[in-house]
């Protein structure tokens, strides 16, 4: 039982620390993360590179 309780207690402390830390992050960084840091933008960039290589027959 201690193997379950101890990680849970540590996790709660870390969660509280992270929530307190998030309030100190400038809104510019949060906006950038929401706007550009989402997975769909990453997929679009990766797909565009793959398609360019397919249609231009780039080597290397």
Q: What are the tens digits of pLDDT across the range 28-44? A: 877 777 777 778 888 88
2-6, 10-14, 46-50: which has the highest mean pLDDT? 46-50
Using CA atoms, how far apart are residues 57 and 60, in angstroms rounded to an integer?
10
pTM of the model: 0.39
What pLDDT does residue 59 have? 63
Q: What is the mean pLDDT of the chain?
A: 79
Count helices and strands (H / E) in the chain: 3, 0
Q: Per-domain residue ranges for the chain?
A: 2-56
58 close to 52: Cβ distance less than 8 angstroms: yes
């Amino acid at each position: 039982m201690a193997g379950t309780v101890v990680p849970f207690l540590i996790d709660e402390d870390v969660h509280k620390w992270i929530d307190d830390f998030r309030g100190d992050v400038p809104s510019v960084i949060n906006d950038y993360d929401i706007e550009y840091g989402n997975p769909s933008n990453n997929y679009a960039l990766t797909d565009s590179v793959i398609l360019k290589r397919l249609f231009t027959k780039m080597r290397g």
